[in-house]
A and B are shown apart, each in its own frame.
Chain A
Amino acid sequence: MKNLNILLVLLLFGSAVQGQEEKSETTFSHKGYYNATNFGILAGSTKNENKAPFSFMMINGYGVTDQIAVGIGFGAEFLQESYLPLVLDARYYFRKQKLSPFIFFQGGYSVPLDNETERYHLIYYSSIWSGYDIMKPKGGWLINPGVGIKSMFSENLGITFSIAYRFQRLNYDKDGEEFDKVLVIDMNRLEIKLGILFK
């Protein structure tokens, strides 16, 4: 159901922007090197502990055709702990024009930047954590499929707006002990970002 909702949003978003693009007739190729630097939030339910953490991501990629580009990216995200997400990025532009909607998919791993963390309230009811344990963040994999719209001001500079579903797994070990106790947090978030595109 959650995925269906996301799909509906993507379709609506696509159709909403489509009407505005009719006037753009200039052909634009997405081939070649590009850099996309995005800022935004990972929004979620108010029930979550960290409701809308900040997210930054820089993608360096290459347009392999007029409409398809692939890249690699890294960033910084400030969840309960700080993370360095490392991703592979693939995107498809629907139009060979300066103004174009696009879809993208990112997958990768978030590397923790902090050595330890405390999550008292999350683990209050835990059967294995005492509630006062210091835990060691181990990071976790992520997937990030989404949709966006790009508008180029010139041949080299443009902006993007994107919305994506973000799945982020975060693993934690009990610090200082080598045993099979892992805390896993699966984050389901709506990633909303603005970006600057250099080409």
Chain B
Amino acid sequence: MKKHIFYLIILTALILNSCTDKISEIFMANSPIYMSYEELRSAVKQVAPQDLTKPGKMYFKDNYIFIVEQMKGIHVIDNSNPSSPQNISFIEIPGTVDIAIKGQTLYTDSYIDLVALDLSDLTDIKEVYRSEDILPYILPPYNEDYPLAQIDEDKGVVIGWEVKKVKQSPTYYYYPMMREFTMMDAATSGINSSGVGVGGSMARFGISGTTLYIVDNSDLHIYNISVANSPVLVKSNSIGWGIETMFIMGDHMFFGTTNGMLIYDISVPVSPMYLSQFWHVTSCDPVVIQDTIAYVTLRGGNNCQNNVNELNVISIKDYRNPKLIEAYPMVGPYGLGVDGNLLFICDGDAGLKVYDVSDPLSIDDHQIAHFPNIFAYDVIPLNGNLLLIGDDGFYQYSYSGQNIQFLSKIEISE
């Protein structure tokens, strides 16, 4: 009898311990659609040219333009004749948002992987390298009227969403989100004079010499690409949250954050050294750099959290102490571009303005051209060829001083 009571007590204790309440939620949610890792890692292939629909970062190489179709792949445009650019092929790369090119090797992201493609034969572009699981697990844009359902990373990467009723236990986990593409993202794309572009993505790529830098929203991954087809991960460092853009100029690396700019010295490529920070306003601030001057347009209203419309000119002569040297009022500036002493500013409804910036302290006195009928989100000047990014396509112009002449247009499909 005593033995029975003893067992009874033990079993009761066990049962009580297992009598745990289970909490669930039932709700309409964005339910993830997965692509398995196996599928992801065998998906890269070159196919027939496709229409541009959500273009992201662009990269010029020789006579070709590589345009990222966000999350889908890369368009290859033959721009030998800027008056008649030819869309020659498309490289399917699921999850791609940014690219960088070194020699004959193109580096890009494919969701969580770094991928390298051999461009030596543009009719037969192949994957030659893949570093798996190096980038953050990102999620594509979703219907913001509904919350996100639980994500099971073991099932693969999320390539889309289906709004449906789900039942799940309450959970919370932070995921970086792919921002919905806007023309302003394209506007911050393009290239700067170092040939390294910036784009609206979670991962940012930049190359300096034989070093490939990839920054996600918090970490900087440094690869040695001395052997272009087989990058070697040197190290990954945490650099803080809110990194939006990265650009490299000589021995310096600039990070555009949500509310400012960080400057690093990369004279020792594998050991970036923090120099300074310049806190300005919001994430809606395109930046271009020419020599020791950084030009920043601040646009107010909309989502940009401030009411200032102006051009800021910042001296970065002393990288440890960036200084605002002048500010000029604008109407509603979007992107800007600089080539030599020519500064192009897309000033919203006021159109395209061209300034001579040989004297940064009197830029407004040196407006050399104004095209009120050219509306664009951004402008990329490169060796006499001007790429204007409008809301329906990419326009190419030739420019020389005050003369700007239309050359061609690459349509963006709906």
- State whether A181 touches B11 (Cβ < 8 A): no
- State whether B18 touches A45 (Cβ < 8 A): yes
- State whether B27 touches A182 (Cβ < 8 A): yes
- Interface hits, A1-30 → B, CB 8 Å: 1-2, 5-6, 8-9, 12-13, 15-16, 19
Given that A43-B16, A127-B171 are contacting pairs, would A185 and B22 also be in contact in the complex, using a CB cutoff of 8 Å? yes
CA–CA, A189 to B12, complex, Å?
11
Given that A186-B21, A186-B22 are contacting pairs, would A9 and B15 also be in contact in the complex, using a CB cutoff of 8 Å? yes
Chain B neighbourhood of A181, CB < 8 A: 25-28
- State whether A190 touches B26 (Cβ < 8 A): no
Cβ of A117 < 8 Å from any Cβ of B? no
- State whether B21 touches A48 (Cβ < 8 A): yes
Among residues of B, the one whose C-beta sits closest to the C-beta of A52 is B16
Given that A9-B11, A190-B12 are contacting pairs, would A123 and B24 also be in contact in the complex, using a CB cutoff of 8 Å? no
* Shortest distance from the beta carbon of B142 to any chain A beta carbon, whole Å: 13
Among residues of A, the one whose C-beta sits closest to the C-beta of B19 is A44
Of B1-9, B69-77, B303-311, the one touching chain A = B1-9
- State whether B1 touches A123 (Cβ < 8 A): no
* Shortest distance from the beta carbon of B260 to any chain A beta carbon, whole Å: 31
- State whether A45 touches B20 (Cβ < 8 A): yes
From B8, B16, B21, residue with most partner A Cβ within 10 Å: B21
Cβ of B23 < 8 Å from any Cβ of A? yes
CA–CA, A19 to B150, complex, Å?
53
Cβ of B320 < 8 Å from any Cβ of A? no
- State whether B18 touches A126 (Cβ < 8 A): no
- State whether B15 touches A186 (Cβ < 8 A): no
Residue B27 contacts which of A16, A45, A180 (CB distance < 8 angstroms)? Answer: A180
Per-residue contact bits, chain B 24-37, to A (CB 8 Å; 1 contact, 0 not): 11111100000000
- State whether A183 touches B17 (Cβ < 8 A): no
Residue B147 contacts which of A43, A127, A182, A185 (CB distance < 8 angstroms)? Answer: A127
Cβ of B179 < 8 Å from any Cβ of A? no
- Interface hits, A106-134 → B, CB 8 Å: 122-129
CA–CA, A190 to B14, complex, Å?
11
Given that A12-B7, A16-B4, A16-B5 are contacting pairs, would A128 and B16 also be in contact in the complex, using a CB cutoff of 8 Å? no
Total B residues in contact with A, Cβ cutoff 8 Å: 33
Among residues of A, the one whose C-beta sits closest to the C-beta of B169 is A125
- State whether A45 touches B8 (Cβ < 8 A): no
From B8, B16, B18, B168, residue with most partner A Cβ within 10 Å: B16
Residue A9 contacts which of B1, B12, B23, B24 (CB distance < 8 angstroms)? Answer: B12
Chain B neighbourhood of A47, CB < 8 A: 20-21
Residue A16 contacts which of B8, B17, B25 (CB distance < 8 angstroms)? Answer: B8
CA–CA, A180 to B156, complex, Å?
28
- State whether B15 touches A125 (Cβ < 8 A): no
Given that A184-B25, A184-B26 are contacting pairs, would A125 and B170 also be in contact in the complex, using a CB cutoff of 8 Å? yes
- State whether A44 touches B16 (Cβ < 8 A): yes
Given that A8-B11, A9-B15, A12-B7 are contacting pairs, would A180 and B28 also be in contact in the complex, using a CB cutoff of 8 Å? yes
Chain A neighbourhood of B172, CB < 8 A: 125-127
- State whether B170 touches A187 (Cβ < 8 A): no
- Interface hits, B154-196 → A, CB 8 Å: 165, 167-168, 170-172
Chain B neighbourhood of A5, CB < 8 A: 11, 14-15, 18
Chain B neighbourhood of A44, CB < 8 A: 16, 19-21
Given that A12-B8, A13-B8, A43-B19 are contacting pairs, would A180 and B26 also be in contact in the complex, using a CB cutoff of 8 Å? yes
Chain B neighbourhood of A175, CB < 8 A: none
- State whether B7 touches A185 (Cβ < 8 A): no
Residue B22 contacts which of A43, A124, A188 (CB distance < 8 angstroms)? Answer: A188
Chain B neighbourhood of A19, CB < 8 A: 1
- State whether B23 touches A184 (Cβ < 8 A): yes
Chain B neighbourhood of A125, CB < 8 A: 170-172
Among residues of B, the one whose C-beta sits closest to the C-beta of A1 is B18
- Interface hits, B103-136 → A, CB 8 Å: none
Cβ of A49 < 8 Å from any Cβ of B? yes
- State whether A190 touches B19 (Cβ < 8 A): yes
Chain A neighbourhood of B171, CB < 8 A: 125, 127
Q: Which 9 A-B pairs have the closest CB atoms?
A: A44-B19, A126-B170, A186-B22, A182-B26, A184-B24, A181-B27, A45-B20, A16-B4, A125-B172
**A-B pairs with beta carbons under 8 Å apart, 22 shown:** A2-B18, A5-B11, A12-B4, A15-B4, A47-B21, A122-B23, A125-B171, A125-B172, A127-B25, A127-B147, A127-B170, A127-B171, A128-B25, A180-B27, A180-B165, A181-B25, A182-B27, A183-B24, A184-B26, A188-B19, A188-B21, A190-B19
Given A182-B26, A187-B21, 15 more A-B residue pairs with CB atoms under 8 Å apart are A5-B14, A5-B15, A19-B1, A47-B20, A122-B23, A126-B172, A127-B148, A127-B149, A179-B28, A180-B26, A180-B27, A180-B165, A184-B24, A184-B167, A188-B22
A residues adjacent to B (C-beta < 8 A): 1-2, 5-6, 8-9, 12-13, 15-16, 19, 43-45, 47-49, 122-129, 179-190
